[in-house]
Structure 1
Amino acid sequence: MTQNLNETLRVNGQQSRWHAFETQDSLNQAAVKRILTAADGAISKYGSFLIVLAGGSTPKSVYQLLSKEQADWSKWHIYHNDDRCLPVDHAERNSLMARQAWLNHVAIPQNQIHDIPAELGNIEGAKAYTQTLKGVRTFDLVLLGLGEDGHTASLFPNQAVDNSADAVPVFDAPKPPPERITISQNRLNNTHEVMFLVTGGGKQQAVDQWRSGVAIPATLIALEAGVDVYYFGVSLT
Structure 2
Amino acid sequence: MKKLIEVLPNKTALIERSLSLTVEKITDSIQNKGRCSIVLSGGSTPKPLYESLATQSLPWEKIHIFWGDERYVSHDHTDSNQRMARQAWLNQISIPAKNIHPMPTGSSDPTIDAQIYEAELKEFFQVVPGEFPALDVVLLGMGDDGHTASLFPQTKALDVRDRLITVGNKDGQPRLTFTIPLINQAHCVIFIVAGENKRPALAQIMSTEANGKTYPSRFIDPQGELWWLLDQAAGAEL
Specify if TM > 0.5. Answer: yes
SS of corresponding position for 2:102:
coil
Residue 76 of structure 1 deviates from its aligned partner by 0.4
Aligned match of 2:237: 236
Task: Determine the structure 1 residue equivalent to 2:118.
Answer: 130
Distance in 2 (alpha carbons) for counterparts of 1:76 and 1:182 = 21
Matched, 1:173 2:170: yes
Equivalent residue number for residue 141 of structure 2: 145
Tell me how far 1:80 sits from its aligned partner: 0.3
- Three-state SS of the structure 1 residue aligned to 2:65 is strand
Q: Aligned partners of 1:188, 1:118: CA distance in 2, in Å?
A: 21
Asked if structure 2 preserves the Cα contact closer than 8 Å seen for 1:118 and 1:180, the reply is: no
1:113 lines up with 2:111 in the alignment? no
SS of the residue corresponding to residue 136 of structure 2 reads strand
Does the CA-based 8 Å contact 1:151-1:157 persist in structure 2? yes
Where does structure 1 differ by over 4 angstroms across 4 or more consecutive aligned residues?
Answer: none
Q: What are the equivalent positions in structure 2 for 1:185-200 lying under 5 Å apart?
A: 185-200=180-195
CA shift for structure 1 position 225: 3.5
Change over 3 Å in CA distance of 1:88–1:184 after alignment to 2: same
CA separation in 1, counterparts of 2:223 and 2:120? 26
TM-score by length of 1: 0.89
**In 2 relative to 1, CA 151–15 (structure 1 residues): closer, same or farther, beyond 3 Å?**
farther
Q: Is the 8 A contact 1:150 1:157 kept in 2?
A: yes
Report how far residue 164 of structure 1 moved: 2.9
What's 1:220 paired with?
A: 219
8 Å contact from structure 2 (residues 73, 80) kept in 1: yes
Provide Cα deviations, 1:33-63, integer angstroms capped at 9, x if missing partner. Answer: 1111111111111110100001111111100
What is the rounded CA distance, in whole Å, between the counterparts of 2:122 and 2:188 in structure 1?
20
Question: Percent same amino acid among aligned pairs?
Answer: 31
SS of residue in 2 equivalent to 1:179? strand
CA distance in 2, matches of 1:63, 1:169: 25
The secondary structure found in structure 1 opposite 2:74 is: coil
Give deviations 1:113-156, integer Å, cap 9, x for gaps. Answer: 00001233311110110011014242111000101110000111
State the distance in 1 between where 2:139 and 2:149 align.
Answer: 9
- Which of 75, 79, 89 does residue 102 from structure 1 map onto? 89
Q: Distance in 1 between matches of 2:11 and 2:179?
A: 29
Deviation of the 1:226 alpha carbon: 4.2
The reply to whether residue 88 of structure 1 matches residue 75 of structure 2 is yes
Q: 1:73 to 1:226 in 2, by over 3 A?
A: closer
What is the aligned counterpart of 2:57 among 56, 65, 70?
A: 70
Paired AA for residue 176 in structure 2: I
Cα distance, 1:194 vs structure 2: 0.6
How many residues get paired? 221
Inter-partner Cα distance in structure 2 for 1:212 and 1:193? 22
Partner of 2:202: 207
Determine the C-alpha separation between the residues in 1 that align with 2:118 and 2:224: 25
Structure 2 stretches lacking a partner, 5+ long = 126-132
CA distance, structure 2, for counterparts of residue 45 and residue 109 of structure 1: 21
For 1:15 and 1:44, the matched residues in 2 are separated by 21
Q: Residue 147 of structure 2 aligns to a residue in which SS?
A: coil
